[in-house]
Amino acid sequence: MKEFRVNAKGAFKLKDVKADYGSGDKAETKEKLLALNKELEMLQEQLYAEHKHKVLVILQAMDTGGKDGVIRHVFEGVNPQGVRVAGFKAPTPLELDHDYLWRVHQQAPAKGELVIFNRSHYEDVLVVAVHQLVPEKVWCKRYDQINDFERMLAEEGTTICKFFLHIDLDEQKQRLQERLENPDKQWKFNPDDLKERKLWPEYMKAYEAVLRRTSTDWAPWYVVPSNKKWFRNYVVASILVKTLRGLNMKYPKADFDPSAIQIDGTALP
């Protein structure tokens, strides 16, 4: 999966990543995803039981990019007791009265917890930059601030994986049309998405800057080709499972002698 990781020291161009890329047989890949789901379920249980590591997964995408789909399919079967999804919409007046990271830091994972950010602090160098909601001299400082924030989280024991779910303009059109035509999906359609769609070139430029300037050794970005949903889910699951394996987690040992206990009886001498 190294091909999807943005090199922190290299020259990255988003146009070099094909959104419709997807290798392997679809049916076989879906079977592999089921196996990864099972392993992710076990690894997440170890994370929760060991109560040592913290894991943060950040999902960013254009509208219809598949953030909800990844959460639904990749994390199927994990224990809700140790997993939490935090969504970041337009900031409230209270949040705007604080620094832009204030609301984000409150949602960071605790020990034993896996937290998924559905959108994130990166909106403050994406939407804010594209719409010029604050002066450029303000938002351009945020790349370094975000790197420092994520470094602090990492040094405090948080493992961070960041995914940009990359679709192209034609795929977004098709998905928006499906939402309009399917009564069960019309609730997901937002007319404002069409306004954002007109700003596609500006968003691609903003995303490229984000990916190039904030993919670090401690918080890498992965650009996931996402036109093919089955391939997208497989790539995200594979990277997460490999990352969690690398934590070398173990179930904690009992602080008593299990052999000295009888159920519905007395302890052995």
User: Residue 268: is its pLDDT beyond 90?
Assistant: no
Q: Give the residues across from 162 on adjacent strands.
A: 58, 221
Q: Is the pTM of this model over 0.75?
A: yes
Delimit the domains of the chain by residue range: 2-7+15-246
Q: CATH class for domain 2-7+15-246?
A: alpha beta
- Which of 36, 44, 59, 160 lies closest to 112, judged by CA? 44
Is the distance from CB of 252 to CB of 49 less than 8 angstroms? yes
Q: pLDDT digit string (tens) for 151-172? A: 999 999 999 999 999 999 999 9
pLDDT band at 257 (very low <50, low <70, confident <90, very high): confident
**Average pLDDT of the chain, as a whole number:** 94
The torsion angles phi and psi of 164, rounded to 5 degrees, stand at -100, 115
